[in-house]
């Protein structure tokens, strides 16, 4: 691949990521959420209660980030954290009724954001996007760091 094509791909991915995150932030703000918190809510809605360390792994976030998000969501009454019976150092995180209602609102918001994002694309392309994007993510996740060339 030549540099111009590589640059076009990398720039497009970078811009999409920045703009998608900014749009998500604008949509989440009226719900009192910051980017990342919606993923935590949706993960708990999908899986049910889980240990905070498992939640960190499921979200692909560092444990301190999940701890901070959990504290904020707990303070706003959307989640509950309780000590795990088997390990008092671990916390089980679960949605409250308020959190479940908020997760439903986030699902609707997420549908709208996805619709906005793929507007104008053929249905076949939209259907293929999750697989393509997951492949790109896996490619980035599994590649060893590039070594400096002499």
Q: What is the pLDDT of residue 147?
A: 56
Q: How far is CA 103 from CA 13, 35, 73, 78, 81, in A?
A: 27, 14, 12, 9, 17
Q: Which residue has the tokens 């360390």?
A: 53
* Mean pLDDT value across the chain: 92
Q: What is the pLDDT of residue 88?
A: 78
Ranges in the chain, pLDDT < 50: 149-150
Domain ranges, residue 96: 19-140
Q: What is the pLDDT of residue 61?
A: 87
User: What is the domain count for the chain?
Assistant: 1
Reported as a single tens digit per residue, the pLDDT across 5-31 is: 999 999 999 999 999 999 999 999 999
| CATH, residue 130 | 1.10.10.10
């Amino acid at each position: 691949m030549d540099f111009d094509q590589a640059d076009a791909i990398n720039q497009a991915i970078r811009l999409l990521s920045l703009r998608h995150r900014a749009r998500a932030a604008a949509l989440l703000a009226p719900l009192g959420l910051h980017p990342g918190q919606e993923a935590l809510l949706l993960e708990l809605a999908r899986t049910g209660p889980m240990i905070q360390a498992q939640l960190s792994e499921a979200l692909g976030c560092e444990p301190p980030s999940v701890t901070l998000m959990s504290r904020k969501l707990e303070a706003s009454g959307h989640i509950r954290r309780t000590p795990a019976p088997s390990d008092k150092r671990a916390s089980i995180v679960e949605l409250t009724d308020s959190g479940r209602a908020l997760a439903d609102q986030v699902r609707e918001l997420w549908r709208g954001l996805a619709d906005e994002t793929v507007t104008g694309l053929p249905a076949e392309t939209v259907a293929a996007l999750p697989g393509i994007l997951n492949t790109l993510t896996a490619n980035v996740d599994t590649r060893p760091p590039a070594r400096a060339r002499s």
